[in-house]
Amino acid sequence: MPVINRFAEFHDEIAEWRRDFHAHPELMYEVHRTADKVAELLRGFGVDEVVTGIGRTGVVGVIKGNKNGSGKVIGLRSDMDALPIHEQTNKPWASTNTGKMHACGHDGHMAMLLGAARYLAETRNFDGTVVVIFQPAEEGGAGGKAMVEDGLMDRFGIQEVYGMHNFPGEELGSFQTRPGGLMAATDEFTIEIEGVGGHAARPHVAVDPVVVAAHLVIGLQTIVSRNVDPVESAVLTVTTINAGDAFNVIARTAKLGGTVRTLDENIRDQVEKRIAELVPAMAQSFGATAKVTYHRGYPVTSNWTEQTAFAASIAAKVAGEDRVDANYPPSMGGEDFSYMLQARPGAFVFLGQGDTADLHQDTYDFNDEVIPHGCSYWATLVETAMPLK
């Protein structure tokens, strides 16, 4: 069962939805027009239930199969939000909201999941229930977390959950995934150093926080190079250093900031712990103090082994074995589908877009040729996981 023919018939219509979303991008939780359109389309397909306002502006559709002997409930997720970017594509469907743009392809994600929902509501060729999930605020607002905390999984009885992201640079219609950490936990830290200010010519009666900051930047590098197991992955980057206002004054304080990216929750814990241990101790050795503030962002997008093998088998049905990489290298970017994978077993996959601009570039546009591949993946997943006997 490769790409399902029915989606070739819908293709133009699905692409029209996609281009309409693209022309009207909305940010974070403010996806009101988008959510309204998603809900309206779902109602038009005759899905059994449409619920809005989950996780503030999330939308959920419930589609029951021709039978419900299996008692299975599977969630399929799309994100809905755009980015604060000035679009430069010059496409006829380019953004009409100045300074906002669908530069991550969430317009395409919605269109593909809506296409699948229409097909599934029309055919209902499965034994169980599908819950289609449209979430706000993937781009930094943790909309996935908001929906989970709003009771998404329990309220709809979701047992497994699947997600998909388009992937520029990989062959059109190919799939990539891996079990375990597919995308990174994305954390931030700030360090406030306090020394003793004074005259630049009399350093012996001051405690120079700039020198402490310099040592801390170097010292922090030893966490990845000397503490983390070399076969694991971690990134620690100091991205900001701020101190001082004059050539002849030793500042009293200095401030550092940076990011930590990890693919395993234990490594994440280890890096956070080592920063907390190392920084105050190093500062103290110079006679200064240093306070660390560590902010945890999205967790690791950690694919479940069994569900990932299943997802890869579905991808192989749609794309062919040779166009599926089930052991794809992880990305150090983040994704808030991670919260849904903490709540339920499931898997996240990438879908190759062909040779397009990269995600978050102002020249990016979702490749509509991908639509039947993504729709077929969703529909085949449902019909295979919950077959009519």
Q: Which residues bind Zn ion (CB under 5 A)?
A: 104
Q: Between 261 and 317, whose beta carbon lies closer to Zn ion?
A: 261
Is 257 in contact with 192 (CB distance < 8 Å)?
Answer: no
Which residues have C-beta within 8 Å of that of residue 364, sequence separation ≥ 6? 89, 103, 104, 105, 168, 356, 357, 358
Q: Between 126 and 350, whose beta carbon lies closer to Zn ion?
A: 350
CB of residue 252 vs Zn ion: minimum separation in angstroms? Answer: 40
Closest CA to 18 of 102, 107, 85: 107
Q: Between 298 and 310, whose beta carbon lies closer to Zn ion?
A: 298
CB of residue 105 vs Zn ion: minimum separation in angstroms? Answer: 6
CB of residue 251 vs Zn ion: minimum separation in angstroms? Answer: 37
By Cβ distance, which residue is nearest to Zn ion? 104
CA distances, 247 to each of 86, 193, 201, 371 (Å):
39, 19, 10, 59
CB of residue 106 vs Zn ion: minimum separation in angstroms? Answer: 6
**What is the number of other CB atoms lying within 10 angstroms of the CB of residue 109?**
27
CB of residue 174 vs Zn ion: minimum separation in angstroms? Answer: 18
d(CA 123, CA 3) in angstroms, rounded, equals 16
Q: Between 104 and 116, whose beta carbon lies closer to Zn ion?
A: 104
Token digits of residue 268: 């994440």
Q: Between 44 and 84, whose beta carbon lies closer to Zn ion?
A: 84
**What is the number of other CB atoms lying within 10 angstroms of the CB of residue 122?**
13
- Angle, helices 265-285/209-222, rounded to nearest 10 degrees: 150
Q: Between 73 and 101, whose beta carbon lies closer to Zn ion?
A: 101
Which residues have C-beta within 8 Å of that of residue 39, sequence separation ≥ 6? 50, 52, 59
| Number of residues that this document lists for the chain | 389
Token digits of residue 10: 């819908």
- Angle, helices 371-385/305-319, rounded to nearest 10 degrees: 130
* Cα four-point dihedral sign 387, 155, 346, 167: positive
Q: Between 104 and 347, whose beta carbon lies closer to Zn ion?
A: 104
Token digits of residue 237: 């980057």
CB of residue 359 vs Zn ion: minimum separation in angstroms? Answer: 5
Q: Between 153 and 164, whose beta carbon lies closer to Zn ion?
A: 164
Q: Between 127 and 187, whose beta carbon lies closer to Zn ion?
A: 187
The DSSP line for 233-245 is -EEEEEEEEEE-S
CB of residue 138 vs Zn ion: minimum separation in angstroms? Answer: 6
CB of residue 165 vs Zn ion: minimum separation in angstroms? Answer: 6
Query: In the block, which residue shows the tokens 């995934």?
Result: 177
CB of residue 204 vs Zn ion: minimum separation in angstroms? Answer: 51
Question: For residue 382, which amino acid is it?
Answer: V
